[in-house]
């Protein structure tokens, strides 16, 4: 059983399209995150939800909108995709609102905008 699963694994789309990435965790964790990893492997946090409540919202274009229907799911919707959105997007979860225990990561969604 995969602990943190993301779909799709690969996503190739044209500029201007709207797309969604889904994430689910079966660990019973309270907190979920979205990170973006660029081509140089640099990881930057985008959003965090704790029990369906948005708690971290970094400086991210408002074309990116997260949604958490329940504490086991966190989705990311991206409007009007741009070339610069090409990256690997990772979902992660942690047991509680502090990140002291570390995260469990999903395997990533590689988004390519052409």
Partner 1 sequence: GNSVTQMEGPVTLSEEAFLTINCTYTATGYPSLFWYVQYPGEGLQLLLKATKADDKGSNKGFEATYRKETTSFHLEKGSVQVSDSAVYFCALSDNSSASKIIFGSGTRLSIRP
Closest approach of partner 1 to the CB of residue 91, in Å: 9
Residues that bind partner 1 (CB under 8 A): 4, 33, 40-43, 45, 48, 50, 55-56, 90, 92, 97-100, 102-108
- Please spell the DSSP secondary structure of 21-38, one letter per residue: EEEEE-S--SEEEEEEE-
Nearer to partner 1, 48 or 75 (CB): 48
Minimum distance of partner 1 from residue 27's CB (angstroms)? 13
Kindly tell me which of 55 and 79 has the beta carbon lying closer to partner 1: 55
Q: Which residues contact 61 (CB under 8 A, 6 or more apart)?
A: none
């Amino acid at each position: 059983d995969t602990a943190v699963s993301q779909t799709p694994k690969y996503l190739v789309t044209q500029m201007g399209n709207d797309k969604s990435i889904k994430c689910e965790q079966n660990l019973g964790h309270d907190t979920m995150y979205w990170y973006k990893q660029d081509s140089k492997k640099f990881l930057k946090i985008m959003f965090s939800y704790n029990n369906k409540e948005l708690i971290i919202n970094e400086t991210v274009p408002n074309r990116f909108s997260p949604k958490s229907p329940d504490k086991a799911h966190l989705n990311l919707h991206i409007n009007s995709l741009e070339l610069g959105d090409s990256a690997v997007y990772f979902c992660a979860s942690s047991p509680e609102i502090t990140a002291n225990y570390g995260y469990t990561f999903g395997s990533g969604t590689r988004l390519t905008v052409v």
